[in-house]
Homo-oligomer: A and B are copies of this chain.
């Protein structure tokens, strides 16, 4: 029996959102998938699709009507000039939370990012008490939204789980990703637990698989019951075969944010990663 009457999924046509449509559709009578693009041809049982720009409040408000919870994955998945992030990452987040509040939505599960804490050294083994240390305007937007989420919880009782997603890809494709990989299966497990835990208040959690080399610690969010099952180490032989030798002082190896820790502010991290012959963020 589905847990929910209505769930809203934003960014439903993105790389990660499209992984979530099917599993979410099984958890709810009605899944409202939303994206700025006009995309999916095939809808799952109980799924409907609406095209909307989350930067526009009048497009966001009607989405929330009757929703139990929102899975908010819309946004620009790359570093870009501040002006480009302002709409989706700042104003868009406000629109989602304010609209959800107005419609009595109970909880938002948010695609935050490792890049909210990307300047922390991997060797610090941080847990969830580590402060924000964004590595890009992209990460700065995540920091803003996490603080917004905390504010709405503390002042208005709107729950939030902020998933600090690491390298969510089909496979780990470089040495860093041996630690930072998040498999699609584990992403789905994480979202499911974030939805079915009875009360969550405001909870950040690291979204990373059960990798031998996972550099972060989720113990403060243990009550969510997120237990990843995939391990990037299974891909070690493939990865090592093409690994470039790292410089001992290379921040893109030493900082959690990887290449985003060295990309110039406002320039595409994805483009830089490609230039380096790598895959992941």
Contact = CB atoms under 8 A, between A and B. Distances in A.
A213 B217 contact: no
Interface stretch (A29-37, A41-49, A121-129, A272-280): A121-129
A140 B150 CA distance: 10
A249 B147 CA distance: 20
A140 B144 CA distance: 8
Contacts of A271: none
A214 B225 CA distance: 7
A151 B135 CA distance: 6
A128 B131 CA distance: 11
Contacts of A217: 219, 222
Contacts of A248: 106-107, 157, 159, 199, 201
Contact of A123 (B143, B144, B151, B221): B221
B131 A131 contact: yes
A216 B176 CA distance: 26
Interface in A200-243: 200-201, 203, 211-217, 219-227, 233, 240-241, 243
Nearest to A262: B155
A113 B162 CA distance: 25
A15 interface: no
Interface stretch (A16-24, A70-78, A90-98): A90-98
A86 B90 contact: yes
A132 B150 contact: yes
Interface string A66-90: 0000000000000000100010001
Contacts of A125: 128, 219-223
Given A125-B221, A176-B198, A212-B227, 6 more contacts: A90-B90, A144-B144, A179-B223, A198-B253, A211-B225, A217-B222
Interface of A: 1, 3, 82, 86, 90-91, 94, 98, 106-107, 119, 121-125, 127-129, 131-137, 139-140, 143-144, 147-148, 150-152, 154-157, 159, 175-176, 178-179, 193, 196-201, 203, 211-217, 219-227, 233, 240-241, 243, 246-250, 253-254, 264-265
